[in-house]
Amino acid sequence: MSEKELFVGDLIEKNGKTIKQNNLTIEHSIPFDTLVEVDIPYSEYHKMRMYVVSHERDCDGTPLYGLSYKGKRRTVMHEPYSLLHNCSIFSGFSDECLKIVEI
């Protein structure tokens, strides 16, 4: 007897859609080139200020953000990082752990 693996994103919610289908309808709330501060007390990135340079998605469709010290964003999701002048992009940040910095 083999067990079927269960992916959390495939769970069906009350509206009849999967978690992933529902998450894919959620729009990113932080625009490109916005200066943000990372608010994750247990993270090495805590209190760092960077710019939103990419809109990404988790495997379950949850909106995530890519951050960089340089504000020039990628205009296409899979555009090479070199177009950001070889700067590092730190990926996987959710809205809950980012604070918009008012300039």
Mean pLDDT of the region 51-58: 92
Give me the chain's average pLDDT, please.
Answer: 85
Mean pLDDT of the region 43-55: 93
Break the chain into its structural domains and give their ranges: 49-103
Q: Distances in Å between the alpha carbon of 8 and those of 35, 59, 95?
A: 32, 9, 20
pLDDT for res 81: 45
Extract the tokens encoding 33.
Answer: 């080139």
Q: Distances in Å between the alpha carbon of 50 and those of 35, 53, 66?
A: 6, 9, 9
pLDDT tops 90 at residue 20:
yes
Mean pLDDT of the region 76-86: 50
Mean pLDDT of the region 85-92: 77
Top-confidence range, 3-7, 22-26, 87-91: 22-26
Give alpha helix (H) positions in the chain.
19-23
pLDDT tops 70 at residue 16:
yes
- The one-letter code for the residue type at 77 is M
Mean pLDDT of the region 74-89: 55
Query: What's the pTM value of the predicted model, to 2 decimals?
Result: 0.80
